[in-house]
Homo-oligomer: A and B are copies of this chain.
Amino acid sequence: MGSPKSTSMDNGVNRTTVRVRFGDTDPYGIVYFVSYFRYCHRAIEEFLRACGLKPEETFKNVQEGFGLPIVEAWGRFRRPTKYGELLRIETSIQEIRAKAIIFRFEFYPETGRELVAEGTANLVAIDAAWRARELPERLKASLPPGKSNS
């Protein structure tokens, strides 16, 4: 066997695949909008790993004195998807600011090009007192540049 290998990074875009699972739908078998946000978090985790960053040391890091909470999120759900489907998430950095990162997510059928859903998530760097602070240098150095930043 081996570790899951359903993720790849290419030109600042991470591609990862999620399967719609049994508990992910609404009572009518359509993916519940809340599940998309859960998939987005998973996509951030895979994006970070592809950059050599461990999520469990990045969302909260007591040693280095920072946290990285999600302070805003948005999603648009364009087409219904169903239990059992495979979705490809394309994740990129929409913007890097001094104290924040904005991720962008696009959901497609595993092998298709029709946009199923899209979204964003804003993460802000905070210190131990939960005040906004500069993004840690180590973090910025590991991430690809945001589109609006280049």
Interface residues of A (CB under 8 A from B): 1-8, 15, 17, 19, 21-23, 25-30, 32-35, 37-38, 41-42, 45, 54-56, 59-60, 67, 69-78, 80, 82-84, 86, 88, 110, 121, 130
Contacts and interface: CB of A to CB of B under 8 A. Distances in A.
Given A72-B75, A80-B130, 8 more contacts: A3-B6, A4-B17, A6-B6, A19-B45, A21-B45, A25-B27, A55-B84, A56-B82
Identical copies in the complex: 4
A4 B22 contact: no
Contacts of A55: 22, 83-84
Nearest to A121: B33
Contacts of A74: 72-75
